[in-house]
Structure 1
Amino acid sequence: MVQYQDEESVYNLIPREQIIPTRPPRHVSGYPSKVHPHDLEFGQTKLQGHANFGLPNGANAVSPSKFLKSHEKSPVLPEPSIPSQTKTKLKAPVPLKDDRPTMGLTSNKNYITSNAVEAILSKPGKVPQDPFQWTTRPGYGEVPVYLRRNKQAIMREKEHFEQYVKMRNQPESGQMVSQMSAEDRAQLILHLKRKWGKVNHHFQGFSLSVDNEMKKRRKEELERQLAEIERDIKTLERGDTILVMDE
C-alpha cells in the first residue's frame, strides 16, 4: 500500500512503483453505422400536410338512391349445424302420447324397509343450537383467582407493616439487639431487589398521561414504594454490620 506524505520525509527517497493505467475498451455503438437516407425522417413526420379547400360543393348531399333498407343493419347469424358436444340427459323424457304402458307389472320392493334404510344412512341435517348462556358457566359470579391472590398479597404486606409499626412503638427498655448474619443480609437484599423489580414493572406499565385522580394516586404510591425500597437497599449495602432488635 502506497502512503503519500504531504510534508518532507525520508520515505520519499524510496523509488515508487510506476502504475501504468490500462486503457478501457473502445466504445462501440449498438446502432448500425450505415443507414439508408430514406430511413431518415429529420422531423418530417411532425409537419402538417398541405392544406386544401375541402370537398367540392354538393359532395355531402344526400342521394335519394342511398336509403336504409329493411334488416340492413341486423346481425347475420351463422347457418345452423349439428352440435359437437351433446348434453347428457339428466331425467328420462316424458312418455309420448302414442306410448302404451305394459300392463300387469308388479314389484316385490318393501318400501317400509327401504325408507328406513335410507333414513338411517342419510346425512343428518344441521340442527340449530341455542346460544351459549354465560350465566350457566362454571364459576360464574365467583371472585376471580387473580383478585383472591392480590388480596392475599395485600394482607401479607399489611401484617408485615403492622409488625414493623408495633416493633417501632415498643419501649426500648428490655429489648435485645443482635447482629444480622451475612447470609440473612444477602437474602434480604435479594428479596428487596425482587420486590423492587415487581413494583417497577407495575410502574412502567402506566401510561404517560394520568387522566384521573385514581391513576395519579396509584402512580404516586408506586413511586413512594420504589423510593422506600431503594433506601432500604442502600442502607443494607452500606456496611457489613446490621443490628436487629429482637421481639
Structure 2
Amino acid sequence: MSDIIYPKESVYNIIPREETPTSKPPRYVSKFRPTVLQENNSKKDLRRTMGPSEVEVPSPGQYLKKHSKEPKLPESEFSLKKTKCTCTAKKPQVPARTDNPPIIRTKRDFLKTVECGVPKKPQPVSVDSHKGHKQHLETSGLVPKYIKKKDFGKIPEYLQQRSEEERRAQEEYDDFVREQREQNAMKHLSDEERQAVLKGLKSNWDKLHHEYQGLSLIIDTPSKKAHKQRLEEAMEELKTDIDLLQRFKTIYISQH
C-alpha cells in the first residue's frame, strides 16, 4: 500500500522497516492414515509363497501304480471260481418201443432237398451306367405303380382351393370395374336440354355483348383495357360453346 501511495524514491523509504516472517500452515495429514497403514500391514504377508503355507507331503509308498486309474467292474455275487457245476435239471425219459424214432438229417439229405427244390427267382434290377451300377427296379422310378393309385389324375385339393380363390378375386374385380364404369358413364343430353343450354349461352352472350357495346370509345387506362380483354375472352368462349352445341345434335356429358 505504501508503494502505491509513495514512490520508491521517497524520503519515507529511507527509514528501515521491520520484516515480519511469514509462517506456513501445518501440513495436511488425513485422519484415516493410521487405519490405512494398519490394513496395508495386515494384508502384506498373506500370499508370500505359491499355494498354502502347509502342505502334506505324500509318503513314498503312495506312488502312482500301473492300471490304478482304470475303472474296475464291481465283483458279482456268483463268480465263476466260487460256483460249481451242479446239474439240477431232470433228463428226458427213455422213449418207449411204440414211439417213432427221431428223424436225423444228414448232409446227403440236405443236398437232395437243395437239388429238388425250386430255384430262387432273381430280383429285378435296373442298370443305369456303362460301369454296371444297378439298383432295384421297384425303387428306380421305372415301374408305373403310381397310376394305380385312387387319386391318380385328380387335381389336388390345394390347387382346387387356389383356383377357387383366383376365380372369386376375378369376379370381385369385374364387379368393381363394372361399378366404376357405371359411375363414370356419360349422360346423354336430350334435345330439349340441349336447346335450353343453347338458349342460356346465347342470353349470356347478349348480356356480355351489351356490356361490351357500352364501353367508352377511348380506352387509355390499364383497368379499362383489362375489362375489355376480359369481356372479349368471355364472349369468345361462349361463342365456341354455342357453335359446338349447334353443330352436334348428340352430346354426352360426364356426371362428375
TM-score strictly above 0.5: no
TM-score (norm 1): 0.30
Q: What's the TM-score once normalised by structure 2's chain length? A: 0.29
Choose between structure 1 and 2 for higher RCO, CA contacts under 8 A separated by at least 6 residues: 1
